[in-house]
Amino acid sequence: MTDTDVAWAALGGDPALVQRISNVAREGTLTSPLPVREVARACVGACALAAAEWGARRAGLPDVPEVRVDDGAVATAFHSERQLRVDGRAPVNFAPLSRFWRATDGWVRTHANYPHHRARLLGALGLAADASVDTVAAAIAERSAVEVEDGVYAAGGLAVALRTPGEWAAHEQGRVVAAQPLVGRERLDKASARPLVPLVRSAGEPLLPAAGLRVLDLTRVIAGPVATRTLALLGADVLRIDSPQLPELADHHADMNFGKRSAALDLAAPGDRRAFEELLAEADVVVTGYRPGALDRWGLTPERLAERRPGLVVAQLSAWGAYGPWGGRRGFDSLVQAATGIAVTEGSVEEPGALPAQALDHGSGYLLAAAVLRSLTEQTEEGGTRVVRLALARTAAWLTDGTDRAAERTGAGYDGPAAYDGPEPWLAETDSALGRLRYSLPPVHFTDGPSDWTRPPGRWGQDPVRWSTAAAG
């Protein structure tokens, strides 16, 4: 069973449709001791197939369009935050305090890209706001890795102790995560079946499976925004909502907001809350990427959303999953790699390493978009408010589960292997309100599907708080 079979089965898809996928395997892409390339192509392939399936249904096609996954396009897209250039400037992806540190008994990984996370890290260590890297290193060197992990988490910051694969497998959170499905899927009620609104397109226009769908995007950083960026590629009207107190990092916004619009709303302000509820009343999909429970006080649990908008698709993404002792913890790809043993596998206990890309983020993002598309397909047959859930730690368990990927690694069954000549064929440039952007083209390809987004990102938080397209039904 290939990784593509695993991904498609997790989405509840018809196994026979996997035959619609072909691959161009390229040696030298996403090289790792772990099957990163195979998992990456599986996530992208499953997403493209879910889009092709839904598009065929809406367009009344006799067959699901063929999907083609090119390892070069996938590898470039999985590095999109690194490939970005803004007026020729390369982005800064990690702040100085986001790194591995030596503790008394090993290593600890911190994440402090956002100002509030940096402040909480320094506060937990009892350091001044302007503390230097050397000062932080000295403070952590006096503590055990777990002491730093627990203390920083208690302060609302982000830090994890480096663990081996065996240590994570024995950890309570590791055991709970491994027992969960790769893609959690749930039907909450008996809401009416979704009307199948036909796609009408002129000759030469791309097939846009998500045309007319309205997506409320409540995500940040990479994984969630990859999902909503993909839905925008496929024609959805995606409106990302952020709190004005938590602006996104400029380079993340430039990379992740292609095809989308961006607005800021303070849900604690009555007027902004009314505006949000008006958006929700006409939304088809809500995607959240905050830690579990963070949005509950605003009535954004799947159950409360279903009460106000029956027939919605709710997609939730978290670092550790909404279960187990770490169910309420914040997290990012780099931290999950450290905790789950990936950093040891990519390096060693003495010198931890990292995946060749933030593959947990990107892979989970494409899988989340696929889960939304498959939910839409299922709703036309069975109805129901749908909830799909993914966790970076569960994607990590898939990556490290020991499945034999030998056939995929040799390129058997694929159109290749071919040489990897670098990212240039899968990069493009465009002018935008943010400057001249070089960016990674989307890797999701199927016959007659879109090859690029229809709009570049605009300025953060500056778009109108309203839907821009007619509803799809």
Residues labelled catalytic: 361
DSSP designation for 462: B
Backbone angles phi, psi at 237, to 5 degrees: -85, 100
Q: List residues bridging with 264 in a β-sheet.
A: 242
- Residue entry with tokens 């497998």: 169
User: Six-digit token pair at 193?
Assistant: 């079946």
**Helix locations, 11-128, DSSP H:** 36-59, 71-77, 80-83, 115-124
Read off φ and ψ for residue 159, nearest 5 degrees.
-160, 140
185 phi, psi to nearest 5 deg:
-135, 130
Which of 412, 344, 451 minimizes the C-alpha distance to 23?
412
Rounded to an integer, what is the distance from CA 119 to the centroid of its chain?
26
DSSP secondary structure letters along 260-308? -EEEE--TTSHHHHHHHHHHHTT-SEEEE-SPTTTTGGGT-SHHHHHHH
State how far the Cα of 194 lies from the Cα of 380, in Å rounded to an integer.
Answer: 5
What letter represents residue 391's amino acid? A
Q: Tell me which residue of 360, 347, 441 sits closest to 396, measured CA to CA.
A: 360
| Residue 423 backbone dihedrals phi, psi, to 5 degrees | -85, -10
In the block, tokens 């950083």 appear at: 221
* Residues 370/444, Cβ–Cβ less than 8 Å: no
d(CA 454, CA 389): 28
Backbone angle region of 127, left / alpha / beta, with phi > 0 → left and psi within -120 to 50 → alpha: beta
- Which of 224, 202, 226 has its CA nearest to residue 453? 226
How many separate helices (H) and strands (E) can be counted in the chain? 18, 17
DSSP letters, 346-363, are HS-SSS----SS-HHHHH
3-state secondary structure of 87: coil
